[in-house]
A and B are shown apart, each in its own frame.
Chain A
């Protein structure tokens, strides 16, 4: 099924496909694992998965684009999620998002910094509403965040990266 060169190029993808017995109904877990490797779902990888599962590329793209957790564009090394659930919203989460956008020169349209270091996204409830407002950086949860604290966390990471 895989040609020699494609196999080498997509070795990890091939392994993931095999792990799921190339079962088309496992498309979502397959995409999840592939995304862990590439941090997003490049178009050629989607096409490769489609061939591997005997599906049309449109079908794979349809699923990949439907779910919010699949990214069709590369993301930064640090993914910052600002919760915009109800509890966080009434406790001022939009101020945190604005502070981060301002600090990193980002917007709702431009979510990732030029240097591919940070991606900032608003997400729905993270399930830590008791600590609202909440944000996460690569899955680490921060509660009762203030705009200053959010900006401070970014500085810390940026400093750490410079070392």
Chain B
């Protein structure tokens, strides 16, 4: 492929000169969430409206002329709940839930008039206060968007813009001004820890791989993000793919690799497309390939799409998958650092880890250490979801408490209708299928690798699923057990059979077949699976169950002993009952009941025969007076 050598400084100056000629910049969020809500329609409507108004507007920055506005798309801006989002620079206005019908007002008021459209700015659900500027909204104000910040600003398909924001400077520095040893040293001193779940020190991993004698070494970026309820890596791959490529280049420099793979999960088609495009453009610009920055060193990068297996997120399974095998883990040691892809020393890092690397090289390890805690420096992204007012992608320094995240950034808990509920908090699930459910007691715990591990959960990749009082915690434990049971690759017995038996025991609890031996047996089995399994999948699969037994013992006991589900979610344990003073005797439930279990005279309280009832809940649904409870 014919490549040209790129002059970073020249690209920077050129881009800055072009952007200086536009008065305003309109950035439409084109992350997966906003696109699902219709962001692309907004983009097209805006382009049309601007054309109709005969304004000087550009959709691409390649024209050498002054213009009133430049309209571009970005990756995820984070505030998914309020999407589609439109940001206007330089004022920093953020418009929420924008519809195509709103665009003419945006053109008149903001693009021409320079004022925000009041109707579209964020309104605080609790006190009704309006926030026109993005950085003033509590959701953003409390964050430190160190790694994901650029995601919601720059055009992910524009290499020039990435370079103009200082991109590929860190790679140049690593190749030209630093040695493999000093790169490893800088990352080591920064204290960067892997974001893929384990929190292993990245500098140490790189030093181990550097120390291996081998002519061939590989760098792999783990973009398999399989934890349900997590989408940080997806947002980075979609929103800032060049940062990941740059991180991989620096890793390659650090260990002496000349070939790399980005393994992207198949469920993320847009991420696959964006990373592929970024790799092609970087290669065309001479940032990948031979003789990088005139050093004579080369680095070639390939993109591989996964094929749908959670266990492939595990590093040895992922390597097997790149080699074209069934994605099954193998015992460690040897570690990939010693024998990885095709038996060669390999560094495998998570997307977010690699996206952090260029920032450390550029700004220095001491700056990095000013954020976060002693043992867990820096920031961490989290996917905040579930029963919380503001769902979205957030980033905070390590050591931030769950209370700050859920109540200040997240705006508090919602009830089953989606309305804010100050007393609704029940639990928060952290760390996905390897983590656990934490109670209100954990709300003031500083989030860092050690503290969370100390209470039997895991930071994991960063999914935070908030749950309200209506959520049955036993069902949540069952949900994760079903997930790991289904995803167990079947290679080792404790994981394959153990998860199946644990699932059966949880089903017994939910369906009313449990007795006093069930909970102790479940606990014993959980510990056996943890000790006996081959890879991290099985070793951590019992965590959700163990944390539930530990923090929600009463709720488990209620299911087992009283055969009662305190939240009324477990259908088999339902004990439907008609509250006589509320019943108006309208007969609606009598007509609805499929098994004729309800009887009664008109305008007299009805009666429900529990021995006939099949607990379908149809009666409660039709009752206008909320007189039927327990189903």
Interchain CB contact under 8 A, B307 and A31: yes
Q: Which residues of B from 305 to 328 have beta carbons under 8 Å from A?
A: 305-310, 321-327
Residues of B within 8 A of A66 (CB): 309, 326-327, 489
| A26 in contact with B229 (CB, 8 Å) | no
> Which stretch from B251-259, B359-367, B379-387 is at the chain A interface?
B379-387
What is the interface residue range for chain A against chain B?
Answer: 35 or more
A124 part of interface (Cβ distance < 8 Å): yes
Task: For B228, give its contact among A67, A70, A124 (CB under 8 Å).
Answer: A124
Point out the residue from A24, A67, A87 that lies within 8 Å of B465, measured CB to CB: A87
Whole-angstrom distance between the Cβ of A96 and the nearest chain B Cβ: 15
**B271: nearest residue on chain A (CB-CB)?**
A127
Residues of A contacting B230 with CB < 8 Å?
125, 127, 129
Stretch in A11-19, A110-118, A137-145, A150-158 touching the partner: A137-145
The answer to whether A86 touches B479, judged by C-beta atoms less than 8 angstroms apart, is yes
B214 CB, min distance to chain A CBs, angstroms: 19
B156 to chain A, nearest CB (A): 16
Is B530 on the interface with A (CB-CB < 8 A)? Answer: no
Question: CA of A131 to CA of B390 in the docked complex: distance in angstroms?
Answer: 10
With A and B bound together, what is the CA distance between A29 and B35 in angstroms? 27
B226-262, CB < 8 A from A: 226-231, 234
Q: How far is the CA of A131 from the CA of B322 in the complex (A)?
A: 32
- Minimum C-beta distance from A60 to chain B (A): 10
Do A141 and B35 form a contact, CB below 8 Å, given A26-B324, A69-B307, A69-B308? yes
Q: Given the known inter-chain contacts A26-B324, A32-B305, please indicate yes or no for A87 contacting B228, CB distance below 8 A.
A: yes
Please give, as numbers and ranges, the residues of chain B lying within 8 Å of A70 by CB-CB distance.
Answer: 307-308
Query: Smallest distance from the beta carbon of B339 to chain A beta carbons, Å?
Result: 17
Chain A positions within 8 Å of B323 at CB level? 25
Q: Does B32 contact A (CB under 8 A)?
A: yes
Residue of A nearest to B325 (CB): A63
Interface 1/0s, chain A 24-42, versus B by CB < 8 A? Answer: 1111110110000000000
**Are A129 and B383 neighbours in the complex by a CB distance under 8 Å?**
yes
CB distance from A155 to the nearest CB of B (A): 20
A29 to B483, CA, bound (A): 26
Contacts of A31 in B (CB 8 A): 307
- Contact: A68 with B308, CB < 8 Å? yes
Task: Tell which of A63, A89, A123, A131 touches B326, judged by Cβ atoms closer than 8 Å.
Answer: A63
Q: Are A130 and B231 in contact (CB under 8 A)?
A: yes
Shortest CB-to-CB span from B566 to chain A, Å, is 16
Is B432 among interface residues, defined by CB-CB distance under 8 A?
yes
Most chain B CB within a 10 A radius of its CB, from A24, A66, A123, A126: A66
Say whether B536 faces chain A, with CB atoms less than 8 Å apart. no
Known: A29-B305, A129-B391. A91 touches B35 (CB 8 A): no
Check B37–A68 contact: CB distance below 8 A: no
Give Cα distance in the complex from A66 to B308, angstroms: 9
Measured CA separation A85–B463 after assembly (Å): 11
Distance (Å) between the CB of B293 and the closest chain A CB?
31
Q: Is A132 an interface residue (CB 8 A)?
A: yes
Q: Known contacts A66-B326, A90-B471: does B36 contact A128 (CB below 8 Å)?
A: yes
B219 located at the interface, meaning its Cβ lies under 8 Å from any Cβ of chain A in the complex = no
- Chain A residues with CB under 8 Å of B479's CB are 86, 89
A26–B268 CA distance with the chains assembled, in angstroms: 20
The smallest beta-carbon distance between A144 and chain B, in angstroms, is 8
Complex formed: what's the CA distance from A125 to B310 in Å? 10
Complexed CA–CA distance, A26 and B225 (Å):
22
Contact call B308/A131, Cβ cutoff below 8 A: no
Q: Is the CB of A128 within 8 A of B231?
A: yes
Let me know if B229 and A129 touch, CB within 8 A: yes
Enumerate chain A residues within 8 angstroms of B80, measured Cβ to Cβ. Answer: 128, 130-131
Q: Are B33's CB and A86's CB within 8 A?
A: no
Neighbour of B385 across the interface among A28, A29, A84, A87, CB < 8 A: A87
Please name all residues of chain A whose beta carbon is closer than 8 Å to the beta carbon of B393 when the two chains form the complex: 130
* A141 in contact with B324 (CB, 8 Å): no
Indicate if the CB atoms of A68 and B307 lie closer than 8 Å.
yes
Contact A28 B267 (CB under 8 A): no
Which of B36, B226, B304, B487 contacts A131, CB < 8 Å? B36
B353 CB-CB contact with A under 8 Å: no
Other contacts beyond A29-B304, A67-B308: 12, CB < 8 A:
A66-B326, A68-B307, A86-B465, A87-B391, A90-B387, A124-B228, A124-B267, A125-B267, A126-B267, A128-B36, A130-B383, A132-B385
30 A-B residue contacts at CB 8 Å? A29-B304, A29-B305, A32-B305, A62-B326, A63-B324, A63-B325, A63-B326, A66-B489, A67-B306, A67-B308, A69-B307, A85-B228, A86-B429, A86-B463, A86-B479, A87-B463, A124-B228, A124-B267, A125-B226, A125-B228, A125-B231, A127-B268, A128-B33, A129-B229, A129-B230, A129-B383, A130-B83, A130-B393, A131-B33, A132-B386
3 shortest interchain CB distances as A-B pairs: A130-B80, A85-B228, A68-B308
